[in-house]
Amino acid sequence: MSVLKILRGFFLPIIFIGPQASAAEFTINVGSPISIAKMLSGETGKRLDIALEFQQINAIESHGLAVILPSSTADMKDELFYATKMQEMGYATVVVNGAAPRFKMKFTRSYTSAMIVHDLAKTLNFVKEEFGKPKKVVVLASSTGSLAILASQMEPVITAMPILRSVTHAFMLNAACPTRVVPKLSQMARIFTVNGLQDDSTPAFVCNEMKQVNEMPNVQLLTYQGAHHFESPIYEFVGRVDGAHILPTCTINYDKETKLYVEKRDGKGRASEKDQGFHGMQKWVYKYCLKRGNLQGYNKESASKLWIDVDRLTK
- 2: confidence class by pLDDT, cuts 50, 70, 90: very low
Spatial separation of the C-alpha atoms in residues 259 and 38, rounded to whole Å: 8
3-state secondary structure 84-144: HHHHHCCCEEEEEECCCCCCCCCCCCCCCHHHHHHHHHHHHHHHHHHHCCCCCEEEEEEEH
Please write the tens of the pLDDT for every residue from 132-165. Answer: 999 999 999 999 999 999 999 999 999 999 999 9
Please write the tens of the pLDDT for every residue from 214-245. Answer: 999 999 999 999 999 999 999 999 999 999 99
Residue 278 lies in a domain: no
The fraction of the chain above a pLDDT of 90, given in percent, is 88
Domain of residue 113, CATH code: 3.40.50.1820
Residue 20 has pLDDT above 70, yes or no: no
Q: How many domains does the chain have?
A: 1
Residue 16 lies in a domain: yes
- The whole-chain average pLDDT of the chain stands at 92
Regarding predicted confidence, which is higher, 106 or 45? 45
The pLDDT assigned to 11 comes to: 34
Residue 191 lies in a domain: yes
Residue 13 has pLDDT above 50, yes or no: no
Domain that holds residue 17: 2-238+298-313
Residue 158 lies in a domain: yes
The pLDDT assigned to 240 comes to: 97
First-to-last alpha carbon distance for the chain, in angstroms, is: 36
Residue 288 lies in a domain: no
- 103: confidence class by pLDDT, cuts 50, 70, 90: confident
- 5: confidence class by pLDDT, cuts 50, 70, 90: very low
Residue 283 lies in a domain: no
Residue 268 lies in a domain: no
Residue 262 lies in a domain: no
The pLDDT assigned to 140 comes to: 98
